[in-house]
């Protein structure tokens, strides 16, 4: 008898089997991907951050502040605010943020051209804006711990795209692609609270980081390796570091200042090889802010803010201090204009949504409240 069905060539049957196998494999990969997840981070859910800024935590001046008047302030829990008129008026700048507790803000040294600002948060890592804060994007790929207390940006950022981030009990992370991704590079079990980069980083590759209880560390190879530099620091068991500041003339004077929570400021004149306390004239040692005049070599000015509402000034390169301002509120941060030699501007901020500003080098101060619409 003749077969009643149509004849199907053998090669067609094999092709159909191959197609079926490929389809089954594709479905399996899709199911596994759904169960195990992908390497890409989920898109953060947008939220509205409209809380009052109870504490002002960190200021960042535009490198062209005298002309453009741009300054940012990170707050807790109100996110970030910005001013385009030298701090006279402020507005929220929170679009894209998913965390209202901002720990640090830094601006690109080439901000007039690239409009780039970074900030760190207490729960959600690092955010970046490339349009002067109109919109923020989360740039935390590779960060093992999202609580980031401090960020430092390379003075040569436009060329090397380098940043460092200090995290809670995961040490120091570095990005060399403008924050697109991060890698752990040092002191992995430490709570890093302060980071400073040499103004000559492009040539000396020097970074100094202060921790909560483990002292101070230095890298002279761009973060590839780190060494302890604790000689002269004494006991770090009472809170640790708050700020690291390099002299603007570091290549000549090798001067670095370290602020601490309980022990006051320390100074090194050999790049951190040895530290000594510099607290003559201070009536409080709870250092929350420390700034150096951009004209430090000539005027010798440094200013220090304390937790209990004092600002002290030294005109002999940080050896002796006298009280410059006393306020009845807590201070959290102090920052100085990059054009201080000509505009005399500093901002100090803390509790009660208030900041104080001087435009005459600290001779007089005026209070400004960040008003919430």
Q: Look up the CATH number of the domain holding residue 178.
A: 2.130.10.10
In a domain, 8, yes or no: no
In a domain, 293, yes or no: yes
Q: What distance in Å separates the CA atoms of residue 278 and residue 314, rounded to the nearest whole number?
A: 10
In a domain, 29, yes or no: no
In a domain, 19, yes or no: no
Read off the pTM.
0.87
User: What per-residue confidence (pLDDT) applies to 78?
Assistant: 92
User: What per-residue confidence (pLDDT) applies to 42?
Assistant: 52
Query: What domain range is 332 assigned to?
Result: 55-369
Q: Are 207 and 186 in contact (CB under 8 A)?
A: no
Number of domains in the chain: 1
CA distance from start to end of the chain? 92
User: What per-residue confidence (pLDDT) applies to 44?
Assistant: 57
**Parts of the chain with a pLDDT under 70:** 1-53, 236-238, 352, 372-373
User: What per-residue confidence (pLDDT) applies to 144?
Assistant: 74
189's tokens: 């079990």
In a domain, 98, yes or no: yes
Nearest to 187 by CA among 142, 137, 227: 227
User: What per-residue confidence (pLDDT) applies to 6?
Assistant: 45
Nearest to 242 by CA among 275, 216, 277, 271: 216
User: What per-residue confidence (pLDDT) applies to 146?
Assistant: 83
In a domain, 12, yes or no: no
Q: Peptide bond before 77: cis, by omega within 30 degrees of 0?
A: yes
Sequence length of the chain is 373
User: What per-residue confidence (pLDDT) applies to 16?
Assistant: 47
User: What per-residue confidence (pLDDT) applies to 352?
Assistant: 67
Q: Residue 226 CB: number of other CB atoms within 10 A?
A: 20
Q: Max CA-CA distance within the chain? A: 115
User: What per-residue confidence (pLDDT) applies to 50?
Assistant: 66
């Amino acid at each position: 008898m003749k077969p009643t069905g149509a004849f199907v060539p053998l090669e067609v049957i094999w092709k159909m089997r191959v197609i079926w196998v490929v389809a089954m494999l594709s479905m399996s990969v899709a199911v596994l991907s759904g169960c195990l997840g992908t390497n890409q981070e989920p898109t953060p859910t947008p939220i509205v951050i409209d809380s009052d800024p109870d504490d002002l935590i960190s200021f960042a001046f535009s490198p062209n502040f005298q002309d453009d008047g741009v300054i940012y302030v990170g707050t807790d829990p109100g996110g970030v605010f910005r001013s385009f008129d030298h701090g006279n008026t402020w507005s929220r700048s929170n679009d894209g943020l998913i965390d209202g507790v901002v720990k640090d803000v830094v601006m690109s040294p080439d901000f007039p051209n690239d409009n780039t600002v970074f900030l760190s948060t207490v729960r959600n890592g690092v955010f970046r804006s490339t349009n002067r804060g109109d919109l923020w994007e989360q740039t935390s790929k590779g960060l093992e711990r999202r609580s980031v207390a401090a960020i430092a940006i390379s003075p040569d950022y436009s060329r090397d795209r380098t940043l460092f981030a200090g995290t809670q009990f995961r040490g120091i992370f570095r990005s060399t692609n403008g924050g697109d991704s991060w890698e752990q590079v040092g002191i992995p079990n430490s709570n890093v609270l302060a980071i400073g980069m040499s103004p000559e980083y492009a040539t000396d590759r020097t970074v100094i980081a202060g921790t909560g209880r483990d002292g101070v560390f230095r890298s002279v190879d761009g973060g590839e390796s780190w060494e302890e530099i604790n000689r002269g620091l004494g006991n770090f068991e009472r809170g640790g570091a708050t700020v690291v500041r390099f002299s603007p003339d570091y290549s000549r004077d090798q001067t670095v200042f370290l602020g601490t929570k309980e022990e006051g400021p320390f100074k090194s004149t050999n790049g951190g090889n040895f530290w000594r306390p510099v607290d003559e004239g201070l009536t409080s040692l709870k250092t929350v802010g420390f700034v150096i005049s951009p004209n430090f070599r000539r005027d010798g000015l440094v200013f220090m803010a304390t937790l209990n509402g004092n600002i002290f000034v030294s005109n002999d390169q940080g050896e002796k201090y006298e009280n410059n301002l006393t306020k009845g509120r807590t201070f959290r941060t102090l920052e100085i204009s990059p054009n201080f030699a000509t505009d005399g501007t500093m901002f100090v901020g803390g509790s009660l949504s208030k900041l104080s500003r001087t435009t005459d080098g600290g001779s007089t101060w005026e209070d400004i409240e960040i008003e919430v619409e």
